[in-house]
Amino acid sequence: MLCVVPLLRALRLRYPNSWISLLASPVNYEPMVGNRYVDEVIMFDKREFVGREGGSLLHFPAYVRLLRKKTFDIAVVPSTVSASFTSDLLSFLCGARVRIGARSIQGVPNPSAFFFTHPRDLDWRGLKDYHQVRRNMDIWPDRFITDNDLTIEITLTEDELAKGKSFLQTMSHGASRVIVYHPGAGKIPNRWPADLFARLADELALSVPAATVITSGPMDEEPVRGMVGALHTPFEVIKNQPIREVASAIRFADLVVSNDTGIMHIAAAVGTPVLSLFGPTDPGEWAPTGERHRYIRGEDQGIGKIPYEAVLRTANEMLRMEHDGSMP
């Protein structure tokens, strides 16, 4: 979802007086709510209409009526990896006269393309390092993109920023610099070895020096336990906290070292320099955009083959540039 922000930014610049609504699932609602390029974020939670927790299709007509009352003119469904029947259906049910979405993606037909008045064939085969943010932009049929800002963004409130700063200061125990590490990832092939994360944190804690903070989500217990078990330096863990609270704290870190996973995008979206570690996923498509960020990919797409020395050297370079003010 964060990779759609440059499209929203470009639409806002092109059509400054338009009303822009964003339809988002619960997991995507939190990072997008309050985004400065949209006027509202509308949650769509399938569990209200299907499932075992009181969901009923009888509630769905009322939701559709809510959407139609807004009298949308245009509905846009960005798709880069696969099509979503639900999203395509909602673009039709919202009542928009113009509906733009994928007819095919990478040569694979979209079975629900009939919902669109302006279907698009999206094909990036043969294009090297064509980032996901650009792919999202390609859904719009008019080449209106004149702004080259491809950065993603979470819009945080002043209150959230103040609480995040205070929270991270508490966790830093007076250290002037803070490095956040995220050793987890939902996909095991996306995890750099936990003991190397610990070695990196130990060395940077002494040489920079910097406080060590680890972020951990519901699927990160094993790699976090592995990193913590190998650490010798003091540390703090931000565990299973709401994503906006984590984002607000990370905003004030000096560097985030993360595997290819959600926290990597969250950190980039609040403007903190990110050193991201990649294995099977193509960083040309997914790594954070912007000159403040760096990535390293393992040989033969193996994240375990990323040399420790390369990560240490790059982290030190990023910290030095940030400290000297030479980081863009």
CA dihedral 158, 160, 163, 168 (to 10 degrees): -110
Cβ neighbours of 316 (radius 10 Å): 15
What is 213-276 written as a DSSP string?
A: EEEE-TT-HHHHHHHHHH--S--EEEES--HHHHHHHHTT-SEEEEESSHHHHHHHHTT--EEE
- Rounded to whole angstroms, the Cα distance separating 101 from 93 reads 14
**159 SS3 class:** helix
The answer to whether the CB of 215 falls within 8 A of the CB of 181 is yes
Q: Is the pTM of this model over 0.85?
A: yes
Per CATH, the number for 158-324 is 3.40.50.2000
Pairing of β 108-109 and β 255-259: unpaired
Residue 148 has φ and ψ, to the nearest 5°, of -95, 10
**Helix 221-230 and helix 194-207, axial crossing angle in degrees, nearest 10:** 50
| pLDDT of the residue at 238 | 97
In three state form, how does the secondary structure of 14-31 look?
HCCCCCCEEEECHHHHHH
| Burial degree of 149 (CB within 10 A; 0-12, 13-18, 19+) | middle
Q: Residues near 164 by Cβ (< 8 Å), separated by ≥ 6?
A: 156, 245, 247, 248, 249, 250, 251, 252
Every domain of the chain with CATH number 3.40.50.2000 lies at 2-137, 158-324
Q: Which helix (H) or strand (E) holds 36?
A: none
Q: Which residues pair with 275 in a beta bridge?
A: 257, 294
**pLDDT tens across the length of the chain (328 residues):** 999 999 999 999 989 999 999 999 999 999 999 999 999 999 999 888 887 666 788 889 999 999 999 999 999 999 999 999 999 999 999 999 999 999 999 999 999 999 999 999 999 999 999 999 999 999 998 765 555 789 999 999 999 999 999 999 999 999 999 999 999 999 999 999 999 999 999 999 999 999 999 999 999 999 999 999 999 999 999 999 999 999 999 999 999 999 999 999 999 999 999 999 999 999 999 999 989 999 999 999 999 999 999 999 999 999 998 777 655 5
Residue 224 has φ and ψ, to the nearest 5°, of -65, -40
Q: How far is CA 257 from the centre of its chain?
A: 15
What type of residue is 291? E
Closest among 134, 130, 129 to 150, alpha carbons compared: 134
- Rounded to whole angstroms, the Cα distance separating 188 from 220 reads 10
| pLDDT of the residue at 325 | 65
What is 125-139 written as a DSSP string?
A: TT-TT--HHHHHHTT
Domain 2-137 CATH (choose: 1.10.3720.10, 1.10.10.60, 3.40.50.720, 3.40.50.2000): 3.40.50.2000
**Helix 85-93 and helix 60-68, axial crossing angle in degrees, nearest 10:** 60
The answer to whether the CB of 25 falls within 8 A of the CB of 53 is no
DSSP tag of 280: S
Rounded to a whole number, what is the distance in angstroms from the first to the last CA of the chain? 25
